[in-house]
Amino acid sequence: MTDAVELAKALIVCPSVTPARGAVFDALEAMLAGRGFTVDRFTAGEAPDGPVENLLAWRGQGAPHFAFAGHLDVVPPGTGWSAEPFAAEVRGGLLYGRGAVDMKGAIAAFVAALHRVEQRQGTISLIITGDEEGPAIYGTRALIERMAERGLKPDLCLVGEPTSVHRLGDTIKIGRRGSVNIWIEVPGTQGHVAYPHLADNPIPKLVRALAKIDAIRLDDGTGWFQPSNIEVTDLEVGNPATNVIPAAAKARLSIRFNDLHKGDDLAARIRDIAVAEAPNAIVTPRVSGEAFLTEPGVLSAIVSDAIRAHTGLTPELSTSGGTSDSRFLSKLCPVVEFGLPNATMHKLDEAVALADLDALTAIYADVVRRALA
């Protein structure tokens, strides 16, 4: 198969809720067979965040080395679809299915693009994980380690995330904000509400800490990034009794931050506030990614020029949205993200226009030619 629509259908019909393994990787490997690629499939990690299957494929040798990165895992489809979510049904000029947009469609378009490119020099690689939508512990990070073992280091990397907003080609991502989740637990001493001197209520301490945290203004944004923000995402006491002072109170925070900050520094700031109000507070941070920025340059120009040549659009360079695996790949080389319109990603009846798959294939082929020139 060389057509992006047929390739996308072959991937979508393989249910691959994160972490993806097995059939969907069989399908991708079959698409690369006979095309001169060396394919390395491996499994990394153990429960609870693994095992995760990954695929690394490369063709050619030496510089320039252009990499395409993406993920075959998808979020759960949920209920209420107008058709079976893994049926890959085509109707009304649209291909429906979980992963059609995020991001099996882009992977299919890139593979189809390879059939249009005559590679005369350099290296092309695919960095494909089965765990981007999940914890992302044993996915792209494990692939980066595998590449280092094999002496593979890209010069440029394109991630096929669905970045387009209103029309294919209107937006590419040159950076992403970082993310840290923080759990705060304030222990207390359970007791009867009529005898407060015999208890220690943790709720007021936690509330005071959260009020101080909520008052923080981290920054006003930068030339490329929106302001960083702190959000309280959960509060838990779990006290069903009206006459009992609880033994503990808990909260969870999520901070999305720009390149003015580091995750560990923000976690330390939150810890200081919590401990000031409750000296025995337990603060547990988890940094899922640091902010990164690929300054406008060679890679963004290559992608922008290819988009302009095939759509007439000049894409906006953006850092909006959530995190992606680019946060890991940015440590290797310049990285930008460009892919399909994202209006239906993670939604019921996720769908991609057949015309957009064809156009994306042409753009990706043009990008590869320019990158290897």
Strands (E), 25-122: 38-44, 52-60, 65-71, 90-91, 94-96
* CB-count exposure of residue 123 (10 Å: 0-12, 13-18, 19+): buried
Q: State whether residue 210 is helix, strand or coil.
A: helix
Nearest to 305 by CA among 228, 359, 367: 367
Q: Residue 238 carries which side chain, given as an amino acid letter?
A: G
Q: State whether residue 7 is helix, strand or coil.
A: helix
Task: Report residue 111 as tokens.
Answer: 């593979």
73 is catalytic: yes
Report yes or no: 251 and 182 within 8 Å, Cβ to Cβ. Answer: no
Report yes or no: 122 and 63 within 8 Å, Cβ to Cβ. Answer: yes
For residue 293, which phi and psi values (nearest 5 degrees)?
-145, 125
Identified catalytic residue from 73, 133, 277, 356: 73
Identified catalytic residue from 102, 131, 132, 259: 132
Task: Report residue 350 as tokens.
Answer: 């996720």
Nearest to 304 by CA among 295, 312, 314: 314
Nearest to 1 by CA among 40, 20, 41, 28: 28
**DSSP state string for 277-345:** H-TT-EEEEEEEE--EE--SSHHHHHHHHHHHHHH---PEEE--SS--THHHHTTTS-EEE--SB-TTT
Q: Which residues pair with 289 in a beta bridge?
A: 179
**DSSP state string for 238-264:** ----TTEE-SEEEEEEEEEE-TT--HH
Continuous segment of H or E residues that includes residue 149: helix 140-149
Q: Residue 320: which residues within 8 A CB-CB, separation 6 or more?
A: 173, 226
Helix-strand-coil split of the chain, %, nearest 5: 30, 25, 45
Residues classed as catalytic? 73, 132
